[in-house]
Structure 1
Amino acid sequence: MGSIDPSRAFVKEVKRIVIKVGTAVVTRNDGRLALGRLGALCEQIKELNSLGYDVIMVSSGAVGLGRQRLRYRRLVNSSFADLQKPQVDLDGKACAAVGQNSLMALYDSLFSQLDVTSAQLLVTDNDFRDKDFRRQLHETLKSLLSSKVIPIFNENDAVSTRKAPYEDSSGIFWDNDSLAALLALELKADLLVLLSDVEGLCSGPPSDPHSKLIHTYINEKHQGEITFGDKSRVGRGGMTAKVKAAVNAAYAGIPVIITSGFAAENIIKVLQGERIGTLFHQDAHLWAPVKEVDAREMAVAARESSRRLQALSSQDKKKILLDIADALETNEKLIRTENEADVAAAQYAGYEKSLVARLALKPGKISSLANSVRMLANMEDPIGRVLKRTELADGLILEKTSSPLGVLLIVFESRPDALVQIASLAIRSGNGLLLKGGKEAKQSNAILHKVITEAIPDTVGGRLIGLVTSREEIPELLKLDDVIDLVIPRGSNKLVTEIKSSTQIPVMGHADGICHVYIDKSANMDMAKRIVKDAKLDYPSGCNAMETLLAHKDVMLNGGLNDIIVDLQTEGVTLYGGPSASSLLNIPEAHSFHHEYSALACTVEIVDDVYAAIEHINQHGSAHTDCIVAEDEVVAKAFLRQVDSAAVFHNASTRFCDGARFGLGAEVGISTSRIHARGPVGVEGLLTTRWLLRGSGQVVDGDKGVNYIHKDLVIES
C-alpha cells in the first residue's frame, strides 16, 4: 500500500461508497461491451465487498447498448428496399429497455463468476418526490447490503415521464452523474467515485501537452481555469455533468473523486489514499495551500538554472562539486539513518534480497561517492571544448565545440547512490536535471537531494536539480518534449519499455543486461574459471553480471567446463541449459536465451566455435557487455570485431563495464542505443555539440565571392 496523501486522509473513515460507472467505461468505441474493463471493475468491487465496504453502483450504458443491438436487429429484419429508404432514428426509450436487460445480464454473469450477488434497482426522477418510496428505498438497501449484495442503480429511461430523459436536463436528477450524487446524499455515503474515460479534471483539453491534472478542485480557484471539453462520445453530459454533480455532492458534505475507469486498480488506490483523480471536498478551500508540483515549471526552472551554471567559470563549477563532496561526508550519519529506514521498510514489505542489497548504502559508500564527485571535479572542464577547428575561407573560422544537452529526466529504481552519481555528472556537464527514484528509496533520495541542492550556490539555484516525488508526475513530464531534452531510464525492462512507448523525448538506456562469457577451446582454463566466477558472483544483480555462459564443444569434452559448473553450483548458482547443454550436463532447460536472472542463476550452452558464439550473442543478447576468454588472437579479434555490443572484452570480466572503472568518474547509466552515446555514459555522453563561426563581414551572395578552402587548423589548448 502506498503512503496516504494528506488531502486523502479521510478515506480511512470511508465505510459506504457509491461508484458511478460511465458509458465510456462500459462500452468500447464501436458501442459493444468493454468486457475486460467491466471484469476488472467487478473484481475491484468484489474485493471491496469482502473488505467490509458497503458498495452501491450506478451504471450507465443501457441506452448505448440497446441502440447497438436494435440497429443490428433492424438490419437483420430489413429488406434491401427498406435499407434504401431514409432511416428513422431509433426510439431512445426502446433502446433503454433492451440495453438495460443486456447490461444487467452481464453484471449478473460477471459477479456470479466472482461468487457475488448483484441486484437491479431502476428509478425515475418522480420516485424521489414520494416520501414512502424514499423510506422503502432505505429499507431495501439496508436488507441488500446486510446480505453483501451489490445494488446496481440506473434511471428507468424506458418509462420515464420526461419526453427524452437521455436529453432532458431538468428535475431532481437528470443523468446518472446527478443520480449518483443524489443517492450518495440520500443513503449517507462516505464517498462518491465517478468513473470516466479520463484520469480526472484537467487545466485544459487532455490532448494539450500543457494541460495538467487538477488533484484537488477548489471552486473559486479552478472554475474559470478548467476546460471541460466536449460531451462524452456516448453518454449524456461528459465532464461538465460530472463536475456539476461533484460540486453539488461535495457542497453537501460527500467527498467526490473523478478518476479513470480504464485503470484496473483505481478504486482500490482511491481507498488506499493515493493521489489519483480529482478530489472535490467541502473543506478544500480551507486547506493550507499546498503548491502542486507543476512538471513544466520544474523543467523550465532546471533549464534556467543550467544556463546560469554554464555561465560560471571552470573554477566556480569545480567548487560546486567539491562542496557537494564535503557536504555528503559531513551529513553521512543523517544519510545513513534515512537509508536504514528505507532498508528496514523494504525488508518488512518483503522485497527481494537483490533489491534490498541495491538499496543499502553500506559502510564506506558515502566516502566512496564523495571521492567519485571529487574525481569529476578535478576533470578538465568538458563544456566549450573545441573539438574541431576549420578555416572555411579566408578569415572565416569555424569551431565545433562541446555543449550541454539541456535538461535531463532520469528515472531510476532502487539504488540511492545513483542519485549522487547522476547529479554530479549533470552538474559537471552543465545540464539541468529532473530525478525520479523508486518509492523504496524515498527517504534516502530525499535527504541526498537536500544535501546536494543546499550545496549549490544561489547564483545557480537549487532548482537545477528537481526531485520528482510522485509516480503520477512522470506522465506529465514525458509530455514535455519542448523542455526536456533526454530521458534516461535506469531499471527493469518493464520500466524502460513503458517510458519508450510513452514519450516523444529521445530515450537513452538499456532494457536488459544479458551479458555473455564465451570460453574458447584455446582458453587458459584457470583464467576462464576466475573470469566466469567473478562475472557471475561479484554482484549477481548488476546489469553487467554474466547471465549466459557459452563454451566451445571441446571445453565440454576435455572436462574443463565441468570444473567450472561444479564451482558455480558450489557457490549456490542455479544452472539452466540450452538444448545442447541441458542434456549433456543434466540440468533443466532454460525457457529462453533472452533472460536476465539478476540473481544466482545463469544459462549454459555449448557451441561449435567462435562464430557460433558470435551468432548466439548477436541473436539472443541485449548488446550490453560480452566477453571472450581465449589465447588464440585470431579468434579473439574475430569476436571483438563481430560481436555487436556496447562493450566487448577479451580475457576480462564483464563486471568491468562501469563508468567509475572506465575512469569516467561515474555513470548516469549504460546505453545499448546505437546513436549518441554507447556503453557506460559519463560526462561526454551528456554533451552535444555547437558550431561557432567567426568572420569579418563575409556574406554568401550566391557563393560568388567566397573561395572555400576547408583547411583543418590546429586546436589551441
Structure 2
Amino acid sequence: MSMKSLGDLAVTEKFLDDSERLYGDPHPTRYCVRNSRRIVVKVGTAVVTRQDKRLAVGRLGALVEQIEALVSKDLQVILVTSGAVTVGRQKLFHQHVLNSSPLKMQISSGSPTTTICNRAAASAGQSGLMALYDTLFAMMDLQASQLLVTPRDFRDENFKVNLRETTEELLSVSRVIPVFNENDAISDRSLDKDKLSGFQDNDSLAKELARELNADLLVLLTNVDGLMDGPPKDRNSKVIHTFMPKILENFRFSSGSTVGRGGMEAKVASAWDAAQAGVTTVIANGKLPSVLLRVMEGMQEGTLFDRDVVEAEENASRCTSTAASEDGDALETVRDLALSARTASRKLAACPTETRVKILRRIASDLAANEQLIMERNMRDVASAERKKLDPTLLQRLKLKPEKIRTLVKGIQAIADQEEPLRKLQSRMEIMDGLVLEKMTSPIGVLLIIFEARPDALPQIAALAIRSGNGLMLKGGSEARHSNELLHHIISNAIDTVAPEVGSGLIGLVNSRDEIRDLLKLDDVIDLVIPRGSNALVTNIKQNTKIPVMGHADGICHIYIDQDADLDLACKIVVDAKTDYPAACNAVEKVLVHKSLLGQVYKIQKQLDQAGITVLGGEEAVKEIGNLKKAPSPKHEYGNRTLTLEIVRSMAEAVDHIHSFGSGHTEAIITENKDTAEDFLRKVDSACVFHNMSTRFADGFRFGLGAEVGISTGRIHARGPVGVEGLLTSKWVARGSGNIVNHDEGIEYTHRPLPLGNDRKPLSDAVAPVNGVVQGQ
C-alpha cells in the first residue's frame, strides 16, 4: 500500500507549512480549541465504513496522517475507534462464503444482526482492526497501543485509577497513540438497562475518557458536517456552528445511525456533557479532507460545544435583551449563593464552640483519609497545566504534595485547638449606675476569596471562616478546577454531616469569571473581598467593586546584609528565603548589601550560585560588580530562583530603598549589632520585619495562626498573616432595665472601665463567661 493511497498527503504538508494562507484566520469562538494539548478523537462507524459495509481503509489512512501531523506539533492524541464489528463481519463472511449456515445469512444480509452475532464479529474483527492501525501508524513512525474497555469497568474506581496511570505512561512515551474501543466481544448491555453508569456507545465512551483522562479537547468525527438546523439530506439545512442548550427546546433528531449504535442525538448529549465538565468538544465530518487539522487550527468546522463560549453568549444575550435589569438572571443566581452563605453563617455563629470544633476535626480527618484521591485530582490539574505551558511560578503553586496536604491537616487541627474567638470580651464599661456596656468579637459576615492556582488555600480559608463563624464565597483558578471541586465537596460534606442545621450552603464555589463580576456587585450581601494572586488580579478587583478589599498585590521582600553581619549566616538565610518555596509571596526578591562588604560579595554570589539561584544586579551593583546582568526593574517580583543584588551605603539607605521599592510585605536585617537591628525593626514600615531570620517565616501556620486567608499589607483592620482574629469585627452589647435617654435628664454618666475577670455579673442566666469568653449556645 503506497502512502499516496492513504490520503491527500500534499494537503497535510501544505497545512503544516502555511495553514493560515490555506484556511484563513481562526474563528473568534475557536481560539479555545487552538490551545488544546491533549485531544481525544472519536472515529464513528459511519466514518470508517463504506456504503457496501466494508472498512474504508483510505479514510483511516488520511486520519492517521492527520494524527501524525498533530503529534509532530507535540500534541497528545488519544483515539477512540469503531470498526471491529465491520472488520469481523468481512472476515467471517469470507470464511463462510461457501457455507449456507445461519451465520452466513446473518452476516451477508443488510438487516441488523443479533447481539450474539455482533459479539462474534467483534471478537473476529478486533485483532484485524488493530493490525490495520499498527500498519498505518508504523508507516508514519507512530506506535498504536490497544486498550479494550466495557461499560461496567467505569463503575470501578480502581479501574479508573489504573486506566489513568496506564494512559499517562503511554503518552509519556514519544509518538505512541493509545487506541480505545469497547470490548464488544464480551459486553452485554441487556444486563445494564436499569443501572448503566458507564457508556452506551463510542460517543459516550469518548466523553468518559475525555473526562477521566483530563483532555482539553474532544473531537467526535461522524459522516455529517455537524449538528444541522434541519435534516442532513436537505440541501437547505445549515450547520449550527456553536451549540447553545436552548437549541434543543424545539429540536427533533432524525433516526440513529444505520451502521452504529450512536446517532446525532447521542453525539450531542455526549458533547454537551463533556463541555459541561470542562472539555471543549467539536462534532465534525470525518469524511472531509484534513478536517481534524482544520478543527485544531480553529477553523469554523463542525459544531463547537464549549462551556465558556456558551456562558459568554448567554450573558451577552441577557445583557442585550434585559435593558431594564442590568444584572440579569446570572446576578440573581450568585446573589442566591451569597445569601445562602449569609444565612448559614448566622446559624454557624450561633452554634456552640464544640460544633465548630467538630466540623474542623471532621474536615481534617476527611482530608487525611482522602489524600490519595486529592493527589490524583491534583495530578490531573497539573498535567493539564503543563500541557498548556502554565507559568512555572503558578505551576509550583498549583502542585499539592503529600507533605503539603499533611501540613493542611495539622493547620486545621491547630485552628480547632485555638481559644474560642467569638463573643470574646474586649472591654467592659459602666456607662451609668447599673448599666454596663460590653464590646465583644463578632464575625465579619460573608467573605469572598479569590485565589489563583492555589488549591491548598481553599481548605485553609474554609477552616478559618468556620472557626470565626463567617460564610464564604470562593473562586479558585480554572487551572485548579479538579482539585478545588473535590476539596469543596469534602468540606461541604463535613459541614452537612456534623451540623445539618447549618448546611453546605455556608461555602459557595463559583467557576466562571462572569460570576466574579456579578459577585463584586453584591456590596449589600458580601462584606469583605480577599484576593490572593497577581498584582493584576488585585488591582482589577479593587477597581471593580465597592466592597472593602483586604490583601496584597506584590510580595517584594528584602533582606539587608549589614556591615556587622555574619556572612555565613547571611548566605544561609538568603538561600533559605529564596529556595524554600520560590513562588511564595514571602520569598526574598532583593538582597541589599552594605558597601563595606563589596570585597566579599563574591562569597555571597558563590553560595547563591551553588544553590542554583540566578543573581541579577541593581543599578549600583551593576556599576560596582562587573559580571552582573541588570535586573528588569528596581521593583520586580520574580517568583522563581532569581533575585536582585543591590549595594547600599548605610542602613538608612537600605530602609529608604525598601520604602521606595518594596511592597510592605516582609523585610529582614542580618547583623550582629543589636542596636542596628533594633533601629531597623523600628524604622521599617512593613507588615513583617525580622532580625537574623528567613522571610519565609511570614506565614500564618508558622505564626501559630493555624493557617491564613492571606497576608495583608494594608493598614486598616488586619495586617500581616491574617488568621481567625483578622476575620473578626466587634459589636457592642448592653442589658438594660427600661433605661431611656430623655434628653439625658437626671443621668449621671460614669464611664468607668470594668475588669474582664470573675467579679463581673453574668451576661445572662444561660450564657456565662469562661476566662473572659462568652460561650455559645
Corresponding position of 2:561:
519
When residues 399 and 375 of structure 1 are mapped into structure 2, their CA distance, relative to the original with a 3 A threshold, is: same
Asked if 1:634 corresponds to 2:670, the answer is: no
Corresponding position of 1:277:
313
2:444 to 405, 415, 424: 405
When residues 48 and 409 of structure 1 are mapped into structure 2, their CA distance, relative to the original with a 3 A threshold, is: farther
Corresponding position of 1:450:
489
Letter in 2 for 1:373: I
Asked if 1:714 corresponds to 2:755, the answer is: yes
The CA deviation string for residues 310-330 of structure 1, in whole angstroms up to 9 with x for no partner, is: 111111111111111111122
Letter in 2 for 1:598: G
Corresponding position of 2:423:
384
When residues 280 and 685 of structure 1 are mapped into structure 2, their CA distance, relative to the original with a 3 A threshold, is: closer
When residues 643 and 52 of structure 1 are mapped into structure 2, their CA distance, relative to the original with a 3 A threshold, is: closer
Shift of 1:359: 1.4
When residues 509 and 217 of structure 1 are mapped into structure 2, their CA distance, relative to the original with a 3 A threshold, is: farther
State the superposition RMSD in angstroms.
3.1
Give the SS at the match of 1:611: helix
Give identity over the alignment, percent: 49
When residues 370 and 606 of structure 1 are mapped into structure 2, their CA distance, relative to the original with a 3 A threshold, is: same
Distance 1:47 1:636 in 2: 68
When residues 187 and 480 of structure 1 are mapped into structure 2, their CA distance, relative to the original with a 3 A threshold, is: farther
Give the SS at the match of 1:709: strand
Q: Could you tell me whether the CA contact under 8 Å between 2:530 and 2:551 is conserved in 1?
A: yes
Distance 1:47 1:398 in 2: 79
Letter in 2 for 1:676: H
Asked if 1:339 corresponds to 2:378, the answer is: yes
Corresponding position of 2:352:
313
Shift of 1:630: 1.4
2:453 to 404, 414, 433: 414
Q: Could you tell me whether the CA contact under 8 Å between 1:310 and 1:430 is conserved in 2?
A: yes
Asked if 1:579 corresponds to 2:619, the answer is: yes
1:323 to 362, 371, 387: 362
Q: Could you tell me whether the CA contact under 8 Å between 1:410 and 1:436 is conserved in 2?
A: yes
Corresponding position of 1:665:
706
Corresponding position of 2:24:
49
Asked if 1:471 corresponds to 2:446, the answer is: no
Corresponding position of 1:683:
724
Give the SS at the match of 2:756: coil
Corresponding position of 1:528:
570
Corresponding position of 2:434:
395
Distance 1:419 1:651 in 2: 32
Shift of 1:188: 6.4
Asked if 1:565 corresponds to 2:565, the answer is: no
TM-score (norm 1): 0.62
Superposition pairs for residues 180-329 of structure 1, below 5 Å? 190=239, 274=309, 275-278=311-314, 294-329=333-368
Letter in 1 for 2:614: T
Give the SS at the match of 1:530: helix
Give the SS at the match of 2:558: strand
The CA deviation string for residues 327-364 of structure 1, in whole angstroms up to 9 with x for no partner, is: 11222222122111111111222223332222121123
Shift of 1:529: 1.3
Q: Could you tell me whether the CA contact under 8 Å between 1:215 and 1:276 is conserved in 2?
A: no
**After the TM superposition, which of the residue ranges 582-591 and 454-463 deviates more from structure 2?**
582-591
Distance 1:633 1:50 in 2: 66
When residues 188 and 442 of structure 1 are mapped into structure 2, their CA distance, relative to the original with a 3 A threshold, is: same
Letter in 1 for 2:422: I
Shift of 1:654: 0.4
Shift of 1:582: 0.8
Corresponding position of 2:407:
368
**After the TM superposition, which of the residue ranges 459-468 and 354-363 deviates more from structure 2?**
354-363
The CA deviation string for residues 565-610 of structure 1, in whole angstroms up to 9 with x for no partner, is: 1111222222221221012222112231111000111111111111
Superposition pairs for residues 536-547 of structure 1, below 5 Å? 536-547=578-589
The CA deviation string for residues 75-127 of structure 1, in whole angstroms up to 9 with x for no partner, is: xxxxxxxxxxxxxxxxxxxxxxxxxxxxxxxxxxxxxxxxxxxxxxxxxxxxx
Distance 2:485 2:556 in 1: 32
Q: Could you tell me whether the CA contact under 8 Å between 2:561 and 2:670 is conserved in 1?
A: yes
User: How many pairs were matched up?
Assistant: 470
Shift of 1:295: 0.7
Q: Could you tell me whether the CA contact under 8 Å between 1:215 and 1:277 is conserved in 2?
A: no
The CA deviation string for residues 167-199 of structure 1, in whole angstroms up to 9 with x for no partner, is: xxxxxxxxxxxxxx9xxx999664599xxxxxx
Give the SS at the match of 1:455: helix
2:479 to 436, 440, 463: 440
**After the TM superposition, which of the residue ranges 476-485 and 327-336 deviates more from structure 2?**
327-336
The CA deviation string for residues 530-571 of structure 1, in whole angstroms up to 9 with x for no partner, is: 1111111111111000101001111114x1x22111111222
Letter in 1 for 2:661: H
Shift of 1:271: 8.1
Shift of 1:470: 1.5
Shift of 1:432: 0.2
Q: Could you tell me whether the CA contact under 8 Å between 2:431 and 2:749 is conserved in 1?
A: yes
Letter in 1 for 2:673: D
The CA deviation string for residues 416-443 of structure 1, in whole angstroms up to 9 with x for no partner, is: 1110100000000100001111111100
Distance 1:572 1:566 in 2: 10
Corresponding position of 2:469:
430
Q: Could you tell me whether the CA contact under 8 Å between 2:331 and 2:519 is conserved in 1?
A: no
Asked if 1:656 corresponds to 2:697, the answer is: yes
Shift of 1:277: 2.4
Q: Could you tell me whether the CA contact under 8 Å between 1:217 and 1:280 is conserved in 2?
A: no
The CA deviation string for residues 352-400 of structure 1, in whole angstroms up to 9 with x for no partner, is: 3332222121123323212211111111110110011111111110111
Letter in 1 for 2:356: K
Corresponding position of 1:348:
387
Corresponding position of 2:744:
703
Letter in 1 for 2:377: E
When residues 390 and 563 of structure 1 are mapped into structure 2, their CA distance, relative to the original with a 3 A threshold, is: same
Shift of 1:693: 1.4
Distance 1:378 1:462 in 2: 23
Q: Could you tell me whether the CA contact under 8 Å between 2:331 and 2:518 is conserved in 1?
A: no
TM-score (norm 2): 0.57
Q: Could you tell me whether the CA contact under 8 Å between 2:331 and 2:515 is conserved in 1?
A: no
Give the SS at the match of 1:364: helix
When residues 475 and 665 of structure 1 are mapped into structure 2, their CA distance, relative to the original with a 3 A threshold, is: same
Letter in 2 for 1:599: N
Superposition pairs for residues 116-195 of structure 1, below 5 Å? 190=239
Corresponding position of 1:509:
551
Shift of 1:695: 2.3
Corresponding position of 2:591:
549
Distance 1:392 1:53 in 2: 68
Letter in 2 for 1:628: I
Distance 1:310 1:335 in 2: 29
Distance 2:701 2:512 in 1: 30
When residues 478 and 705 of structure 1 are mapped into structure 2, their CA distance, relative to the original with a 3 A threshold, is: same
Q: Which runs of 5+ in 1 are unaligned?
A: 1-44, 56-180, 194-213, 221-264, 282-289
Distance 2:406 2:619 in 1: 47
Distance 2:725 2:742 in 1: 38
Q: Could you tell me whether the CA contact under 8 Å between 2:577 and 2:588 is conserved in 1?
A: yes
Distance 1:393 1:437 in 2: 51
Shift of 1:672: 0.5
When residues 217 and 312 of structure 1 are mapped into structure 2, their CA distance, relative to the original with a 3 A threshold, is: farther
When residues 440 and 53 of structure 1 are mapped into structure 2, their CA distance, relative to the original with a 3 A threshold, is: closer
When residues 385 and 342 of structure 1 are mapped into structure 2, their CA distance, relative to the original with a 3 A threshold, is: same
Give the SS at the match of 2:418: coil
**After the TM superposition, which of the residue ranges 680-689 and 588-597 deviates more from structure 2?**
588-597
Give the SS at the match of 1:276: helix
Give the SS at the match of 2:746: coil
Letter in 2 for 1:429: S
Q: Could you tell me whether the CA contact under 8 Å between 2:330 and 2:515 is conserved in 1?
A: no
